[in-house]
Amino acid sequence: MRKPTSLIALTIFSLISLTGCGGGTSTPEESFIEGSGAVTFIEIVKRNPAPSLSGMTLTGKTFTFNPSQVAVVNVWASWCSPCRAEIPTLIELSKQYPDVQFMGILTRDNPATAEAFSRRLAMPYPTFIDDSLLIGFKGTLPANAIPSTVLIDKRGNVAARISGEVTLTALSKLIRKLEAE
């Protein structure tokens, strides 16, 4: 008989489609799909509510997102090369846009390893360690690869996703567009 946590893990695993041609191995580094950088934007009238984002972070504190501001939610893992490569861009943008709430969701990673990575880069925004939060994006723009970045508008609706490594230009453009709404 499977434990409920195994079912949740399987659902998350299926939801974010991180299985790839890993040659039968089970290491995360060899069995993930890297995004292409494709941007998906949803028109205002077609947006659905983002899930509630609350929980324990890498720093051991509880954080709850208040959906009254634009938010950037980045799904990442410390072993993921494109994830590591985009973190400086996310840090820079979080400083350029102080009214935007940046958050991370750690997936398929060891929290201690990720926390050390986060501390080394001085990531100024919270990262949730409970990747079951990703289930809440299922009806909107789920994280379909890692890294994936989802943007939430001021009304708390999922507005956009970048599947793959973010660029300064693409993410800035989306943030400005959502702030202007």
Q: What is the CATH number of the domain that holds 117?
A: 3.40.30.10
Full domain range(s) for residue 127: 4-180
- Asked if residue 141 has pLDDT above 90, the reply is no
Into how many domains does the chain fold?
Answer: 1
pTM of the predicted structure, to 2 decimals: 0.80
Alpha-carbon distance values, 26 to 10, 31, 98, 103, 162 (Å): 13, 7, 39, 27, 26
As a three-state string, the secondary structure of 33-97 is CCCCCEEEECCHHHCCECCCCEEEECCCCEEECCCCCCEEEEEECCCCHHHHHHHHHHHHHHHHC
Top-confidence residue, 67 or 18: 67
Pick the more confident residue, 1 or 54: 54
Output the pLDDT for position 38: 80
Q: State the Cα–Cα distance between residues 154 and 68, nearest whole angstrom.
A: 5
Flag whether pLDDT at 106 surpasses 70.
yes
The pLDDT, as a whole number, for residue 36 is: 53
